[in-house]
Amino acid sequence: MTPHISRRTTVSIATAVAAGALLTGALTATGAAAQPSAPSATPLALSASARADLIKDARANTAETAQELKLGSKEKLVVRDVVKDRDGTTHTRYERTYDGLPVLGGDLVVHASKSGEREGVTRATSKSIDVATTGASLAAAPSGARKIVWAATGTPRLAYEKVVKSTKKDGTPSRLHVITDAATGKKITQFDAIMTGTGTSEYSGTVEIGTTKSGSSYALTDGTRGGHSTYNLNHGTSGKGTLFTDADDKWGDGTVNDPATAGVDAAYGAQVTWDFYKNVFGRSGINGDGKGAYSRVHYGNAYVNAFWDDSCFCMTYGDGSGNKDPLTAIDVAAHEMSHGVTSATAGLIYSGESGGLNEATSDIFGTSVEFYANNSADPGDYLIGEKIDINGDGSPLRYMDKPSKDGASLDSWKSGAGNVDVHYSSGIANHFFYLLSEGSGKKTINGVAYDSPTADGSTVTGIGRDKAEQIWFKALTTYFTSSTNYAKARTATLSAASDLYGASSAEYKAVAAAWTAVNVK
């Protein structure tokens, strides 16, 4: 679980992935935007059984793969995911163990051609895993901690990982992972695993949502999108809450007076996010296995936050200040759900530069889903959280064209960017994505005026959001690892652009130019 969207005050929003929403008919009255045909290097839409077969085959060959990669005798590979491109190329993601211990930051991706020939390997660390002893070094290990090998930063070493569960001042649950050197007892790092993110909705107008008839009533459960369900916590903070049901299949009244209104927004947000990942990238559900998550609304009292939690595979939404503005807008829902996608793929550690990239990925796809939904009540824009009024003055939470407009986010990379809160260091990648999509300078899109600068005064010409999305998703799922930083993100997106459009393409050159424009070289 990891906190995600935040504002400059003490309140933060965790944004990740909610799963498929509920639909009895077609998508929505407004419909999703059409997508261009995909290059051959884009992911192939796999059925759950086809994906399971690929994973099974990879598991059967882990020992052989480890030997080919010249891993040590104490190292073993554990298959985490397999992505297959339209041209037959496969990208198999592995976790690693050492002498039976999990290696955090030891993950890698093996790229293989259609014929099975290995074409390359992307590693979270290039350093050898060679720990002198895996015996406990401290007289007393932290209570409740597990022994691991820490390889995400510095020289791989024996360490302990302790998960500290608590609740933050604003009511957000916390699952803080504290990594301690087993030899010295000194803290190496810490990161949070909470990522903070027909009915009449509050933000999206009248929409069609997926429901299931049960006896004489209807349940807010979408049987067509992995069984995603929406629950009412009724201001509680634990458990699932109560599944929304309705006698006539007409949900909400568009205001906070009806508790079902927030349920409609959450279900609709999950629905369009599911459809976006499915129709644009061929990904079926957050984990890619066709299974839906679930959403909980009306969390706590006046809770100004939303978050994704891996442990329950669920999205949770507060009702905002004074319980007047539930955090259930499209881009927030998609932001939170996308934390789940990141967790299921690259697994970007939620601290330092990798944490900024994690947060930016949710902003990027939250924005992309909003454009994809093509909803006239909430048109696509490059503003984050503009509907939920989290600042109390009508301003958005973040700006992708010039992130520093929020008063805290970084427009470009600088030394020490990894020490900046991940919600603000994310501005570097958000700005990159905007420049790659739309280019620099002044322009108006869907009625919103933008004026995007560059760190070096250069002029960047955008390639369009559709292509930018494909490049970022491919980089995330096939080249990012748990410890990817901004310099490695540049390399990963260039590799993705080369795969998709060619190393001499305008798209490849635009990726390089956009990164240079945010001082990532």
pLDDT at 39: 84
Q: Is 199 left (phi over 0), alpha (psi -120 to 50) or beta?
A: beta
Which position has the token pair 């969390």? 299
Task: Report whether pLDDT(32) > 50.
Answer: no
Print burial letters for 225-263: b (CB count within 10 Å at least 16), e (below 16): bbbbbbbbbebebeeebeebbbeebebbebebebbbbbb
User: What is the 8-class DSSP label of residue 83?
Assistant: E
3-state secondary structure of 206: strand
pLDDT digits (tens, 9 = 90+) for 137-186: 655 577 889 999 999 999 999 999 999 988 887 777 888 999 999 988 89
Tell me how far apart the alpha carbons of residues 38 and 239 are, in angstroms, rounded to a whole number: 41
User: Residue 190 burial by CB count (10 A; 0-12/13-18/19+): exposed, middle or buried?
Assistant: middle
Q: What is the pTM of this model?
A: 0.85
Q: How confident is the model at residue 435 (pLDDT cuts 50, 70, 90)?
A: very high
pLDDT at 195: 60
**Contact 278/292 with Cβ under 8 angstroms?**
no
Q: Is 275 left (phi over 0), alpha (psi -120 to 50) or beta?
A: alpha
Task: Report whether pLDDT(253) > 80.
Answer: yes
Tell me how far apart the alpha carbons of residues 93 and 82 are, in angstroms, rounded to a whole number: 6
Report residue 337: phi and psi, to 5°. Answer: -65, -35
Q: How confident is the model at residue 274 (pLDDT cuts 50, 70, 90)?
A: very high
Give the dihedral sign, CA 19/296/323/350: negative
The secondary structure of 393-412, three-state, reads CCCCCEECCCHHHHCCCCCC
Tell me how far apart the alpha carbons of residues 142 and 145 are, in angstroms, rounded to a whole number: 5
Give the count of alpha carbons within 13 A of 516, CB side only.
Answer: 13
Tell me how far apart the alpha carbons of residues 240 and 226 are, in angstroms, rounded to a whole number: 17
pLDDT digits (tens, 9 = 90+) for 221-235: 998 899 999 999 999
**Contact 188/159 with Cβ under 8 angstroms?**
yes
In percent, how much of the chain has pLDDT > 70? 91
Centre a 10 Å sphere on the Cβ of residue 144 and count the other Cβ atoms it contains: 9
Tell me how far apart the alpha carbons of residues 105 and 153 are, in angstroms, rounded to a whole number: 8
Residues noted as catalytic: 336, 423
Tell me how far apart the alpha carbons of residues 121 and 112 are, in angstroms, rounded to a whole number: 9
